[in-house]
Amino acid sequence: KQKKKVVRKSRKKKSKNTIPVNFSDLADKSIIIDGANLLHESSSKIKQLELNPLKGFIEELESSGVGSVSVVFDASTQYKFTPQDLTEFVSMVNNNKSNYTFAPKATEADSIILNTAHKTKSIVITNDFYNDYEEKLPDAYNWFRSNHITVSYLMGIWSMNTTNSNKFIN
């Protein structure tokens, strides 16, 4: 009789070794923010976005000495603010036309973010992992995989993290 080999699958989770990122770690770096993603992360209501947390995040980035901050918003983002925040939001975008933009209607902001980050060698800040772009935009997706940051907003505080597969952290 032959004994059957027992093959056991490891139940260990593969660790990605989360690394906290400080604002100062981004000095002199070019940053692209997934605007709608961060607005949703920091808003307390699902269908109504709050502008002040995102403004505070951008101000913290800029005061830490980043090279540049660009923000891409989905076309529908502007319809999710209170009238007061909408006026301020439109003004914020219009006053920063060279670095803030809306994705055209019927266009996914994700592809604009990935392409721009790849071409400008920028770090992407988003909680989206853009897995559906691995085949559609392989070069841009590969750049993103090793040059992105995820964020959390809790008790009025922004926290950033990345993994050890990201190249911009020493």
Give tens-digit pLDDT for 36-80.
Answer: 999 999 998 878 999 999 999 999 999 999 999 999 999 999 999
Which of 27, 148, 45, 35 has its CA nearest to residue 101?
Answer: 35
What whole-number distance in Å separates Cα of residue 115 and Cα of residue 54? 22
Instruction: Report whether 32 contacts 121 (CB < 8 A).
Output: no
pLDDT-derived band at 98 (thresholds 50, 70, 90) equals: very high
Q: In the 8-state DSSP scheme, what is residue 151?
A: E
Backbone angles phi, psi at 26, to 5 degrees: -100, 10
Give the pLDDT confidence score for residue 59 in this predicted structure.
Answer: 97
What whole-number distance in Å separates Cα of residue 51 and Cα of residue 41? 11
The CA-based dihedral angle spanning residues 49, 132, 170, 67, taken in that order and rounded to the nearest 10 degrees: -50
122-134 pLDDT, tens digit per residue, is 999 999 999 999 9
19-36 pLDDT, tens digit per residue, is 999 999 999 999 999 999
Looking at the predicted structure, is the pLDDT value of residue 169 above 90? no
Instruction: Report whether 53 contacts 85 (CB < 8 A).
Output: no
Looking at the chain, the whole-number percentage of residues with pLDDT higher than 90 is: 80
Which residue type occupies 115? N
What whole-number distance in Å separates Cα of residue 164 and Cα of residue 72? 26
Give the pLDDT confidence score for residue 50 in this predicted structure.
Answer: 96
What whole-number distance in Å separates Cα of residue 102 and Cα of residue 96? 12
Q: In the 8-state DSSP scheme, what is residue 13?
A: P
Interhelix angle 109-120/138-145, rounded to 10 degrees, is: 70
Count, residues in the chain: 170
Provide mean pLDDT across the span 80-88: 94
